Amino acid sequence: MKSVKLFLMIALTAGLFAGCKPETTGELGEASDKLQGMGGTWELTNFIQQDPNNPVLEERDLSEFYILPGVEPMRITLDVPTQTYTVTITEGKNFFGTNGTWSLDDNLAPSSITLMNSNDTLELFLGNMVLPTTSNMGLQYHRVCSDGFKNVIYKFNFQRI
């Protein structure tokens, strides 16, 4: 009998707290178009290498290999209507290829972008949600060994120009 009374008291208390929630009002508005958000020309602002196997997840800023004074940094242009991309690069290793097609894993809530060219298909994870009003885009390339072991993560941070 005691357990029934205790259960009823807990249920009544929980009901009181649930009844005290404020009403949600207002509109969230239209969902932004993530596909349109990706479009445009993006310029590399920094390049970071992370060791995912290090317990402290050590990161090294290796931007100096890509960004040199007086030299235009790497740029990637994503064209939305044709879903094609082009890369211009003068310094650093080009992981992306010079051109190809691109797609998002989910146009409503993307977590990765796939770049496809004649030589390779590359999946890059989004470091942030890119909206039409967003000025920064983060891409992460996870290098994985043939046995599935992730050995390094390259983080590319771009700014919309």
Q: Please choose, from the candidates 111, 155, 137, the residue with its C-alpha nearest in 3D space to the C-alpha of residue 37.
A: 137
Q: Please choose, from the candidates 114, 97, 96, the residue with its C-alpha nearest in 3D space to the C-alpha of residue 105.
A: 114
For the entire predicted model, the pTM comes to: 0.77
**Domains of the chain, each with CATH number or no CATH:** 34-160 (2.40.128)
pLDDT in tens, the chain (161 residues): 677 777 777 876 776 666 666 676 777 677 778 889 999 999 999 999 999 888 888 899 999 999 999 999 999 999 999 999 999 999 999 999 999 999 999 998 999 999 999 889 999 999 998 988 999 999 999 988 777 777 899 999 999 99
